[in-house]
Amino acid sequence: MILKPTDITNNILLPPDNYVMIFDKHSGRFISEANWLENAINLDVYASSSPKLKALVDKIFDEVSKKIKVIKKSRIKDALRTIIANLWQGKQMDAPIRYSRNKNKWVRNSRYGKLFFTYNRFIPLIDTLEHLGYIDQKTGIYNRDKDFGRQTRMWGTYKLWHNFTMFGLYTQEFISNSQPEPEELIILKDNSKNKAQIAYRKTTQIQQWQKDLENYNNFSDKHKVCVELNGSMIVDSRFLLNYLFSNILKNKIIIQVIIINNNITRYKKYPLLELHSKDTTSKTQSHSSKPLTMTNTISPNRLVDKDLQHICGRSFLEFWFLPQLKSQLLKCKTQEERDAFLADKFVLEGLGIERLIFRLNYEYLHRVFNRKSFKFGGRAYGALHHNLPKQMRPHISINGEKTTEIDYSAYHIRMLYHMEGIDYTDDPYLVCGGPDLRETYKAVGLIAINAKNDKSAYGAIRDELEARGIPLPKIDKPLVTLVNTFRDAHKPIYKYLFSDIGITLQNKDSKIMNNILMRLMDKGILGLAVHDSVIVAEQYAEILRDIMVAEYKEVMRFKPMF
């Protein structure tokens, strides 16, 4: 039996709008299609000081306290606020919230434990919210034979969203930045498949690394890092949904300026947008071609032009075409369909956006070491600019100033030569096959030194070239031939192929990068690291270059190439 939400009266518990519903006769409830359940988001931390949210929490707490034993009133209210904020985020992303009901997942060293979530507080509270009709759930499953499982999903009901309306909670603004500076700045992981985080003794060196990151994170907080895009920028659905939309909802990305137009390209495959009001009476109104502007001096949730009924600013992005795009994704029934959808490309002006400036509101770093050793890995992660598409990095500004990015050339390949005491100055990829095959051999070389054996390397090379859209040469045994050609061109470092040396090189480059960021900070300069490159305001380019040379020579004893 399949019904749409419009066919069901309001007293039935519904997941978010616009989803086909399936009646589960075992539970007696209407549940969403499997693909909607698969695209769930994790239970996470969301902070808020909103008086309106506090009033809603107080109201629901009064009902909850009649159903469960309350020992610490403030803790229960904190947990309730967290759950409600998660459900709101799920509603905006058209996705349920996933969480584990396995008690072992809530211990101190687990993810929930680190977020200060406790099993005995959250699970009874969630179940009570379901009993009161504020949420609905789909219990998790695990098939041992197929090694497949799905954690429990929950989502808000009509009753919850009706209460949001009653308390005046209409926009995202009641949730503040979801993730403060990470509590654990130095992370050590084991060698298991899941790379679980493990405890360690804090030596003097580790304490210094932690202090460096604390200072850097506090320093970065004082700077304004933005991305400025014009209408000609090409974006894909993966960026729009997994990066932009997700981080807007978490308040990690703040929209500063948006200029929109009416020149929307009507994509045959995905009819995504309507810039006018949802009120059908506005659809017959004429549309001016004059762009509309919203800056951070104007409330992002007001209608800028009442006659045209345009929605602008955060409302335009959060609650207009991005949720529609998310809805389209959830209609994809296979992973292949989802991957193809996320790869679809659009021109921003075709989406009605002439100019877009957004602030990266989460630039905190932490370092991750691997295989139970501080000799493996150690690179810094976490900042939003790390996952910004490469073609957008030139559009980063720091405190309103244009930036430049300086990167080490052929970083790890030259490191291997320098470890052998050889000052290698050629382009290690050009020497293999000329300019036309440079990108091919770059992929071959980097994968080969990271692989543990030749078989795993061949498969990874094939996948990487396919992902980049680089065709294999039309020769016999192309993968073997490519690897052999690279090996013959670099006999002095041949022993490092298939040696898994990459994770050791990461340890060296992480030390170099940490020192670069600290020296820049000492000069009052914010540097944004991207593993083998650093972004700074243009006026500091020469200072950065000199520091990068000095810090590389300090570790590797040779001068790097750029």
Q: Which pLDDT tens digit goes with each residue over 117-175? A: 889 899 999 999 999 999 999 888 877 776 667 889 999 999 999 999 999 887 666 77
> Quick check: helix, strand or coil at residue 81?
helix
Determine contact, residues 52/169, Cβ cutoff 8 Å: yes
- pLDDT given for residue 24 in this prediction: 44
**pTM confidence score:** 0.75
pLDDT higher than 70, residue 279:
no
Please give the C-alpha separations between residue 62 and each of 77, 87, 119, in angstroms, as whole numbers: 10, 19, 21
HEC string for 86-142: HHHHHHHCCCCEEECCCHHHHCCCCHHHHCCCCHHHHHHHHHHHHHCCCEEEECCEE
For the stretch 439-461, pLDDT in tens is 999 999 999 999 999 889 999 99
Pairing, β 401-407 against β 533-537: antiparallel
Ordered by start, the domain boundaries in the chain are 2-174, 186-222+363-410+503-556, 225-360
Residue whose token pair is 């022993």: 495
End-to-end CA distance of the chain: give it in Å, rounded.
63
Selection from 37, 32, 10, 35 nearest residue 22 by Cα: 32
For the stretch 55-109, pLDDT in tens is 999 999 999 999 999 988 998 998 999 999 999 888 877 789 999 998 888 876 6
Long-range contacts of 488-495, Cβ-Cβ distance < 8 Å, separation of 24 or more: 489/428, 489/431, 489/432, 490/413, 490/428, 490/445, 492/417, 492/420, 492/422, 493/413, 493/416, 493/417, 493/420
* pLDDT class of 528 with cuts at 50, 70, 90: very high
- pLDDT given for residue 546 in this prediction: 98
Determine contact, residues 153/96, Cβ cutoff 8 Å: yes
Burial class from Cβ neighbours inside 10 Å (0-12, 13-18, 19+) for residue 117 reads buried
pLDDT higher than 50, residue 294:
no
pLDDT, mean of residues 265-276: 41
Please give the C-alpha separations between residue 250 and each of 52, 172, 238, 322, 360, in angstroms, as whole numbers: 19, 9, 17, 14, 12
Secondary element (H or E) of residue 503: helix 502-522
- pLDDT given for residue 150 in this prediction: 81
Q: Which range among 216-225, 310-319, 329-338 has the greatest average pLDDT?
A: 216-225
- pLDDT given for residue 417 in this prediction: 98
Q: Residue 440 and residue 461: Cα distance in Å, rounded?
A: 9
Q: Is 372 left (phi over 0), alpha (psi -120 to 50) or beta?
A: left
- pLDDT given for residue 42 in this prediction: 86
* CATH of span 186-222+363-410+503-556: 3.30.70
Residues in contact with 5: Cβ distance below 8 Å, sequence separation at least 6, in sequence order: 14, 17, 18, 19, 21
Q: Residue 544 and residue 404: Cα distance in Å, rounded?
A: 10
- pLDDT given for residue 19 in this prediction: 42
Scanning 333-477, the segments in alpha helix (DSSP H) are 335-343, 411-419, 430-433, 438-450, 454-468
- pLDDT given for residue 3 in this prediction: 33
Determine contact, residues 354/261, Cβ cutoff 8 Å: yes
The mean pLDDT of the chain is 82
- pLDDT given for residue 143 in this prediction: 72
Q: Residue 114 and residue 108: Cα distance in Å, rounded?
A: 6
Determine contact, residues 561/425, Cβ cutoff 8 Å: yes
Burial class from Cβ neighbours inside 10 Å (0-12, 13-18, 19+) for residue 114 reads middle
> Quick check: helix, strand or coil at residue 263?
coil
